[in-house]
């Protein structure tokens, strides 16, 4: 037995695998019908959000997240893609209680840093269940992950291979390839992903260094509403599998990445429709290939409702402005690149266009333009940002001295 793996960890690994087998077998029961229009657009009943704020709120902006919905989303993902093992992208929401709920469902984890590694290991997740999908890491980060027992690492360039030859020559590497992000609300192509001309040099260098390039991965873009991206990417990955095999390597992992969408303001394909398409493409692979995915937003977005408070209104140059106690720097970072959320206000006035800004003195801190909200909103009102459990508190900072949002975790199946 390796020195860094003890009997407790092996037992935990077996339990995790057993949990995933149970997850695969369990039906994704229908989520209860929503009682109202706002609830129909939100995965967490607004009445429960308000109850949680009344009991636990401390006056700050807050994310109320329901771990019952997180568990439901894990079951739904597994039902839609029964041959695909989900590895949750920790960056989407790293709250420990969310991670524990997913681990209890047999979900694996995908990390991007030593801090995320420590967090996941601290809840008892075996190193074998963790994938390090950040394609470029500091030397010290690789050394640390290797000591902690991580086996799988993404790469997308020749330069990164030398680090593994020196630090962890027995690493299992998976090659991230570039693919279309067309139709995603938050494109990720450009920074990562080996282009067509990069792939053969990477393979040749890996062979020369006697490294194990054991798989292929891609990312179709965050909040991807174009299912064809998965078809294109999966076919490209199959072609890379063939090139790896011809070079004498043994590819055995297909990582479908993330991008699985949730319902926001635009029409969105269901996870079942995406799963059907992916299943058609997976039929072209050998059955002994392990297939995983890295859902982040899908697991947690509609499990959360972000609540901000109006701190003032203004009329400037004929334009209505509304200032909240949370903005781009306080949890609504993704709005800066155009991501739009459904909002709920408790007033029933005529809906008019507003510019919505955060509380900081930075002019970048403008979340929304021409957002339709009631004209009679005033200071002190609460605004509910629906399906905002992902990339809100995870991206919040204390810029300009403003407090981080509060996180309130509820369980609507046991509370």
- Are 234 and 224 part of one and the same domain? yes
CATH assignment of the domain containing 393 = 2.40.37.10
Give the pLDDT confidence score for residue 186 in this predicted structure: 64
- My answer on whether 114 and 257 are in the same domain is yes
Average pLDDT of every residue of the chain: 91
Q: What is the pLDDT of residue 40?
A: 64
**Sequence-distant (≥ 6) Cβ neighbours of residue 100 within 8 angstroms:** 123
Same domain? 400 vs 285? no
Together in a domain, 254 and 323: no
* Sign of the torsion formed by the C-alpha atoms of 174, 95, 300 and 367: negative
Instruction: Give the tokens for residue 286.
Output: 């050998």
Structure confidence at residue 30 as a pLDDT band (50, 70, 90): low
Residue 27 has pLDDT above 70, yes or no: no
Q: What is the model's pLDDT at position 294? A: 97
Tell me whether residue 76 is in a domain.
yes
The DSSP annotation for 315-349 comes to EETTEEEEEES--GGGT-GGGGGT----EEES--S
What's the whole-number mean pLDDT along residues 262-277?
94
Catalytic residues: 361
Q: How much is the pLDDT for 184?
A: 78
Q: Is the pTM of this model over 0.85?
A: yes
**pLDDT at residue number 2:** 34
373-399 mean pLDDT: 97
Instruction: Tell me the average pLDDT across 234-247.
Output: 97
Q: Closest Cα partner for 75 from 150, 121, 22, 113?
A: 22
Q: How confident is the model at residue 3 (pLDDT cuts 50, 70, 90)?
A: very low
Q: Are residues 194 and 247 in the same domain?
A: yes
Query: Of 238, 270, 301, which marks where a domain is finished?
Result: 301
Tokens of 142: 């690789």
Each residue's pLDDT tens digit, 275-292: 999 999 999 999 999 999
Per the structure, how many domains does the chain have? 2
Measured CA distances, 184 to 133, 221, 235, 268 (Å)? 20, 5, 19, 10
> Which of 232, 290, 299, 291 has the alpha carbon at shortest distance from 259?
299
- Taking the C-alpha atoms of residue 305 and residue 93, their distance in angstroms, rounded to an integer, is 13
Q: Decide: 266 and 224 in contact? Cβ < 8 Å.
A: no
Residues 121 and 150 placed together within one structural domain of the fold: yes
Cα–Cα distance for residue pair 105/19, rounded to 1 Å: 6
Q: Across residues 141-169, what is the average pLDDT?
A: 98
Within-domain flag for 40: no
> Do 293 and 339 fall into the same domain?
no
Residue 89 and residue 79 share a domain? yes
Higher pLDDT, 245 or 337: 245
* Domain annotation covers residue 196: yes
Q: What percentage of residues in the chain have a pLDDT greater than 90? A: 83
Q: How far is CA 155 from CA 179, 199, 203, in A?
A: 15, 11, 11
The boundaries of the domain holding residue 378 are 302-410
| Greater model confidence, 34 or 182 | 182
pLDDT at 156: 97
Look at residue 5 in the predicted model and tell me its pLDDT. 35
Where among 262, 284, 301 does a domain terminate? 301
**Same domain membership, residue 310 and residue 284:** no
Query: In this structure, what CATH number is given to the domain that contains residue 82?
Result: 3.20.20.10
Confidence band, pLDDT 50/70/90 cuts, at residue 32 = low
User: Looking at residue 84, what is its pLDDT?
Assistant: 97
Q: What is the pLDDT of residues 110-121, one digit of tens each?
A: 999 999 999 999
370-393: average pLDDT: 97
Does 330 lie in the same domain as 277? no
**CB-based contacts of 25, cutoff 8 Å, min separation 6:** none
Q: What is the rounded CA–CA span in Å between residue 37 and residue 135?
A: 42
Q: What pLDDT does 22 receive? A: 52
Q: Is the dihedral of CA 90, 95, 96, 98 positive or negative?
A: negative
DSSP notation for 369-391 = EEEEEETT--TT-EEEETT--SS
Tell me, yes or no, whether 39 lies in a domain. Answer: no
Residue 113 shares a structural domain with residue 216: yes
pLDDT at 33: 54
Asked if residue 216 and residue 327 are part of one domain, the reply reads no
pLDDT on residue 24:
54
Pick the closest to residue 13 from 125, 120, 151, 99 (CA basis): 125
From CA 250, how far away is CA 301, in angstroms rounded? 36
Q: Which region among 42-56, 154-168, 185-199, 295-309 has the lowest average model confidence (pLDDT)?
A: 185-199
| Residue 29 in domain | no
Bridge partners (DSSP) of residue 202 are none
Domain boundary at 278, 301, 324, which? Answer: 301
Q: What is the pLDDT of residue 337?
A: 85
Q: How far is CA 260 from CA 153, 203, 375, in A?
A: 22, 29, 35
């Amino acid at each position: 037995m390796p020195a860094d793996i003890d009997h407790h960890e092996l037992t935990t690994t077996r339990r995790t695998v057993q949990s995933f087998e149970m997850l695969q077998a369990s039906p994704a029961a229908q989520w209860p019908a929503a009682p109202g229009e706002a609830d129909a657009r939100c995965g967490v009943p607004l009445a429960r959000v308000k109850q949680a704020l009344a009991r636990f709120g401390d006056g700050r902006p807050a994310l109320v997240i329901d771990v019952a919905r997180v568990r439901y989303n894990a079951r739904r993902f597994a039902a839609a893609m029964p041959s695909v093992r989900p590895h949750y992208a920790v960056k989407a929401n790293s709250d420990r209680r969310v991670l524990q709920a997913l681990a209890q469902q047999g979900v694996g984890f995908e990390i991007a840093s030593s801090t995320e590694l420590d967090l996941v290991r601290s809840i008892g997740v075996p190193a074998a269940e963790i994938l390090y999908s950040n394609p470029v890491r500091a030397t010290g980060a690789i050394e640390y992950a290797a000591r902690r027992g991580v086996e799988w690492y993404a790469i997308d360039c020749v330069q990164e291979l030398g680090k593994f030859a020196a630090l962890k020559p027995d690493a299992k590497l998976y090659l991230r390839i570039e693919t279309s992000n067309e139709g995603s609300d938050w494109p990720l192509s450009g920074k990562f992903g080996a282009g067509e001309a990069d792939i053969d040099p990477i393979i040749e260098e890996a062979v020369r260094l006697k490294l194990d390039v054991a798989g292929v991965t891609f990312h179709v873009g965050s909040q991807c509403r174009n299912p064809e991206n998965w078809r294109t990417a999966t076919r490209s990955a199959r072609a890379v599998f063939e090139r790896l095999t011809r070079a004498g390597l043994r590819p055995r992992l297909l990582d479908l990445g993330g991008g699985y969408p949730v319902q926001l303001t635009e029409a969105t394909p269901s996870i079942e429709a995406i799963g059907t398409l992916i299943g058609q493409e997976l039929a072209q692979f050998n059955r002994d290939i392990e297939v995983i995915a890295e859902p982040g937003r899908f697991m947690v977005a509609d499990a959360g409702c972000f609540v901000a408070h109006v701190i003032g209104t203004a009329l400037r140059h004929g334009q209505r402005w509304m200032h909240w106690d949370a903005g781009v720097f306080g949890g609504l970072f993704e709005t800066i690149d155009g991501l739009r959320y459904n909002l709920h206000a408790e007033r029933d006035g005529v809906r008019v266009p507003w510019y919505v800004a955060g509380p900081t003195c930075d002019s970048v801190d403008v979340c929304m333009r021409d957002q339709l909200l009631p004209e009679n909103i005033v200071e002190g009102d609460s605004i509910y940002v629906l399906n905002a459990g992902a990339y809100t508190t995870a991206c919040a900072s204390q810029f300009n001295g403003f407090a981080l949002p509060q996180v309130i975790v509820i369980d609507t199946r046991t509370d």
